[in-house]
Structure 1
Amino acid sequence: MKNTVLMIVALATGAVVMVVQGLVSGHHARPEKSAPRIPQAAVDTSGFTALASETKTLELGDVRVTWIQDQAAMQPVNLFPQAPASLIDSLHLRGGIPSSLSTFLVESKGMRILFDTGLGGKDSRLLHLLSLMELTPADIGFIYLTHLHSDHIGGLLDGGRPMFPMAQVFVSKQEFKGWMGMPGEKKAQVEKMAKAYRLNLHFFDFGDYLPGGVETIDASGHTPGHTAFRVGDLLIVGDILHGAALQLANLDLCPTYDMNPAEARVARKRILQLARTDSLVMAGMHLPAPGFMKF
């Protein structure tokens, strides 16, 4: 088994991050010859938005985490209406911001934990990539949800039935309550999920520890109870960053998806500072491939 490799990358913004080079391979995966990076100025971004043909796995002490790309993405700059045109142009992001739609499988203390489930539907690649790891939905024992947007819970259902029949599903109590207070059309998918998993749906308070030694961390703002999760040296950050190449240049920039921008700004800065201070590897659902970053 190969060691984890971290590559220092200086962004055009002057920020310095270490982006994980995925050299610990999962089933049917091969090491890459060059490290994926968050794009810098004047860099061709096509390689960061192409669909990955395989998963990438890191071993962080006793924790094993696998990046699973549900879909590739390029975020439009108008997703950040407050971003100055001069900043966008200086970062050469006018054509879009490299991103992704990812889930992560964590193996800790003998448990398999899936963080979020992607969009679901015919275009989802989650089940295919799990099969390349010789796993079926029935092999997933736990699902921890960062929040309840459709691109994170869509993969939970197969029609109206649970896609993961053996999984115990956990979500923030604050998140679920917030969605239940929304208009019917907004909460409809959440209600369907809750009905399908009614015997296996659990709610936590921020600060609780979940099976597998996973700590729950308040990251509210993007949604009412948006959650980050820490296990060992890994920090699952959910949707803290939608367009890393832009937002790392100005952490106050919020996508239109953030329900409470003021709270989201505070959470973004606090979570990123935690990652920096404790030297944690971040796994983000919208970080560009391969979904990992470290300051």
Structure 2
Amino acid sequence: MRVFYLPVASIALFAAVLFFPRVGGLFIPFSPLLLLLYLAEPAREKISDILFLVLVGLCAAFEPFISAYYAMTVIFTAFMIYRWQNKPESNWLPVAASPIPAFILSAVFVFFTDSMRSSLTENVTEILKVLVEAAKKAPETGAASYAAVVEKNMDLAALSLVLIFPGIIFLTSVLVAYFTKTFFYKIKKQEHEVFRLPDNLVWVMLAGLAFFFMGDVYMRSVAFNTLLVFGGLYFIQGFEVLRRWVHRFRLAGIFKAVIYIIIFSEPPLMLALALVGLFSIWFNFFGKPKQDETGS
């Protein structure tokens, strides 16, 4: 019972968004890490597992949607990483599979539930109206011209954004899963496992991107979702390349932090890393292993 504070803290951090909407989302990425540390804790007991499930059930009675999302993202992510740890031959699987339940459920809601799609579209439309008005009041930023285009196609823009919600959820969830696994291995002093997708998955990506050439907005959204899904996966693969070279040059921690902050604050750099990850299928961007370098 002495480690029961870990799952309690995991739930509290995830639920923080309800009480602190503006900053609560910043705590969510730490939620699966705390639960994963609990699962791997030798002092964990069955009674604490039971109490944790009871606590999740009580939360579901008051906030069923948030609790279901917690189960599909946090619990599933922690379980996958815990179950597949120290298996280098399939190290990509827990990270890539963690977002799948939330991705599938959101896709069902968005594509096959008219009421949910209409409600989300209305909410997104209101948000777009606010953003358009703000852009009009700041013409010096150059955003006014884009705002005018959005205003003319407000309904289509809102629907298009709603249709890519599954891809956005997958993208954010897979990044959380990757860094959860990375920090967990670091805390447990386990050797880092380089994330690398099976090369033949690139054909799945190309098949999904083929929907770009369809005229229907729903069909084209399949391509955009595919782009977000594989963009996230290949970004992680590209980030592994960057990580390898940063460690090879033995940069100080402060310089590593600066590099990573710059990467995540600049979308073009994130896109560049995703392309590096994609082309690492055909080109070896990792360089020679250390033993080859010393032997040559």
Asked if TM exceeds 0.5, the reply is no
- Higher gyration radius (CA): 2
What is the TM-score of this pair, normalised by structure 1? Answer: 0.28
State the structure with bigger RCO (CA 8 A, min sep 6), 1 or 2. 1
Q: Pick the structure with more strand per residue.
A: 1
